[in-house]
Amino acid sequence: MNRSDELMMDMNPDVIQGENSVKGSSRIHMETKDLTVKYGEVTGVKDVSLKVERNRVTALIGPSGCGKTTFLRAFNRMHDLTRVARVTGQVLLDGVDVYHPDTNPVLIRRRIGMVFQKPTPFPTMSIYDNVVAGLKLVGIRKRQVLDEVCEKALRQAALFEEVKDRLKDAGGSLSGGQQQRLSIARALAVGPEVLLMDEPTSSLDPQSTSRIEELIQTLKEDVSIVIVTHNMQQAARVSDRTAFFYVGNMIEVGDTKSMFTNPKEKRTEDYITGRFG
């Protein structure tokens, strides 16, 4: 069955935790074409065409307010929730437009997960329940399945060893860095192919930050990652490709190493060398 059929149908029980038998195989996992996002009169993002490579980390950098978060949120249709936002252009997941009228955003968001700037464990749920929350939505209740998925997701998020003896503790009882890794585990538990990360370490201390940066390197074997960061050094450390945004436009995109050592555009160079932003 082709990709568009799958996006429109219910989720297949096999499609959990990366045992994704219908995974696409081309190098380009996601792609945007002339993506524009407007909030009423104000344009947040204008005509951005970007390719996201499979199993790679793509970083979006730029000064605050340049539209990188707005752009990221268009990937999993988070703008659907804002009444005044209008999205035009295409966002393709393995060639299928995520904004196609027949596709259901609920399904999209299982394929494309998201981690936010503030760690948001559900405070009334235990660590275990937090991780499997997404699975319970789909009606998966068998204890064995949940246990397996929970452990796998927590291992992927490099959190399992620290919490394995206290899975029943409240989600809010962890430290900031642990809570963020819990949020990552929660997002991974539903088996997404793409993970969007919106400034995931900006509210964390340096130690937690580097743990998560390490984590990203191992994660990319399972998922393609798009990360927004206001920290250029972080982009240089973790990403394979980087896109520089400025005032709603994507100025330049390319291989991270080349971009940081030899940027093509003047504005990119100015930003990277700290002349503004």
Q: Does 134 bind another protein (CB under 8 A)?
A: yes
Q: Does 138 bind another protein (CB under 8 A)?
A: yes
Exactly one of 2, 34, 123, 218 binds another protein (CB under 8 A); that residue is 123
- Show the tokens assigned to 23: 């995974």
**What residues numbered 140-159 form the site for another protein, per CB under 8 A?**
140
Q: Does 85 bind another protein (CB under 8 A)?
A: no
Q: Does 76 bind another protein (CB under 8 A)?
A: yes
DSSP string, the chain: --HHHHHHSPPPTT-STT--TT---SSEEEEEEEEEEEETTEEEEEEEEEEEETT-EEEEE-STTSSHHHHHHHHTTGGGG-TTEEEEEEEEETTEETT-TTS-HHHHHHHEEEE-SS----TTSBHHHHHHHHHHHTT---HHHHHHHHHHHHHHTT-HHHHTT-TTSBGGGS-HHHHHHHHHHHHHHT--SEEEEESTTTTS-HHHHHHHHHHHHHHTTTSEEEEE-S-HHHHHHH-SEEEEEETTEEEEEEEHHHHHHS-SSHHHHHHHTTS--
Q: Does 10 bind another protein (CB under 8 A)?
A: yes
Query: In the bound complex, what is the minimum distance in angstroms from residue 104's beta carbon to another protein?
Result: 6
CA distance 195 to 136: 20
Identity of the residue, 59 or 190, whose beta carbon is nearer to another protein in the bound complex: 190
Query: In the bound complex, what is the minimum distance in angstroms from residue 232's beta carbon to another protein?
Result: 25
**What residues numbered 176-205 form the site for another protein, per CB under 8 A?**
183, 186-187, 190
Query: In the bound complex, what is the minimum distance in angstroms from residue 63's beta carbon to another protein?
Result: 23
CA distance 145 to 269: 50
Exactly one of 85, 125, 167, 247 binds another protein (CB under 8 A); that residue is 125
Exactly one of 85, 133, 167, 247 binds another protein (CB under 8 A); that residue is 133
Identity of the residue, 174 or 253, whose beta carbon is nearer to another protein in the bound complex: 174
Q: Which stretch binds another protein (CB under 8 A): 58-66, 85-93, 118-126, 237-245?
A: 118-126
Query: In the bound complex, what is the minimum distance in angstroms from residue 150's beta carbon to another protein?
Result: 14
Q: Contact residues for another protein (CB under 8 A)?
A: 10-11, 13, 76, 78, 81, 104, 106-110, 113-114, 116, 118, 120, 122-125, 133-134, 137-140, 183, 186-187, 190
